[in-house]
Amino acid sequence: MKDRYVRQGRTAFLLSLLSIFFMGNTHAQTLDDVLGVRAATTQDGRTSQRRIDEISEQTRDLLTQYKQVMKIVDGLRVYNEQQERLIKVQEKELRELEESIDNVTVIERQMGPLIERMIANLDKFVELDVPFLASERSERIDFLKDTFDRADVSVAEKFSQVLQAYQVENAYGSTLDVYTEMIAIDGVDRQVEMLKWGRVALVFQTLDGETTGVWDKNINDWEILDDEYRLGVRNGFRIAKKTQTADFVHLPIPAAEVR
């Protein structure tokens, strides 16, 4: 009986050991599982954090790029506004230029007849004027007429040449000129020395100094002068040639016409 109790106690003891063993194993397995889950969670957390950091870095990069793009956009907006203002100004200038071109076309159509009348009037003026520097003035008129008929010369150039001719004619009224010319005296062509004293007097003297004359607009011919004018005309030549200082000279002056 005693042996039976002993066997029963041994059996209970063994069962207790086995229970403790299995309970220990179970506890160990549960702890390992917990630690494994925690490790996995930590690893997942690190991975997630890295992902978050990467997304955050990408976000900052995108924000920086966005700001740079917006600066470019702002700059382009300002540039476009400037270009629009410039285009408006250019369009206004273009309209004004087109109007000017139209006006120039009208003016050119009007300038042609005007230039032609100016040349004709100048030709008539020279014809009726005192006949000094006849060849030079006639050649100038012929040049203006030839130029007027040329298509390769602009209207502006033609007008400029006519104005220059008028200026030259105007200057003749206040200059002294000495030159030689062939004129008819008593039906005989003779070489004489001419003195143009502005448009006040046009006188001549033969090269030998024996004959002195003046242009008479009333008879439209040369008038031979008395010897009393010989010295005065000679002094006039000297003053014009700057071999004598300016002084009073005795010249025949036509009387003013009474109208």
Asked if residue 184 is part of any domain, the answer here is: yes
- Confidence (pLDDT) at 6: 46
Give, rounded to a whole angstrom, the gap between the first and last alpha carbons of the chain: 189
Asked if residue 229 is part of any domain, the answer here is: yes
Among the residue ranges 83-92, 123-132, 133-142, the one predicted with the least confidence is 83-92
- Confidence (pLDDT) at 40: 64
Q: Which residue has the higher pLDDT, 247 or 237?
A: 237
Asked if residue 225 is part of any domain, the answer here is: yes
Tell me what the pLDDT averaged over the chain comes to.
82
Rg of the Cα atoms in the chain: 60
Asked if residue 126 is part of any domain, the answer here is: no
Asked if residue 246 is part of any domain, the answer here is: yes
What would the pLDDT profile of 188-209 be if each residue is shown by its tens digit? 899 999 999 888 889 999 998 8
pLDDT over 70 at 139, yes or no = yes
pLDDT over 80 at 117, yes or no = yes
Asked if residue 234 is part of any domain, the answer here is: yes
Residue by residue, DSSP assigns the chain as -HHHHHHHHHHHHHHHHHHHHHHHHHHHHHHHHHHHHHHHHHHHHHHHHHHHHHHHHHHHHHHHHHHHHHHHHHHHHHHHHHHHHHHHHHHHHHHHHHHHHHHHHHHHHHHHHHHHHHHHHHHHHHHHS--TTHHHHHHHHHHHHHHHT-TTS-HHHHHHHHHHHHHHHHHGGG-EEEEEEEEEETTEEEEEEEEEETTTEEEEEETTS--EEEEETTTTEEEEPPGGGHHHHHHHHHHHTTSS---------PPPPP-
Asked if residue 247 is part of any domain, the answer here is: yes
Give the whole-number percent of the chain exceeding pLDDT 70. Answer: 81
Asked if residue 79 is part of any domain, the answer here is: no
How many domains would you assign to the chain?
A: 1
Instruction: Specify the amino acid at residue 179.
Output: Y
Question: Which residue reads 């050991």 in tokens?
Answer: 17
Among the residue ranges 107-111, 194-198, 217-221, the one predicted with the least confidence is 107-111
Residue 205: give the domain boundaries.
175-253
- Confidence (pLDDT) at 66: 85
* The two structure tokens encoding residue 5: 């109790």
What would the pLDDT profile of 154-196 be if each residue is shown by its tens digit? 888 999 999 999 999 999 988 889 999 999 888 889 999 999 9
pLDDT over 80 at 101, yes or no = no
Would you place residue 12 in the very low, low, confident or very high pLDDT band (cuts 50, 70, 90)? low
What would the pLDDT profile of 13-70 be if each residue is shown by its tens digit? 555 544 554 454 555 556 556 556 566 667 767 777 888 888 888 888 888 888 888 8
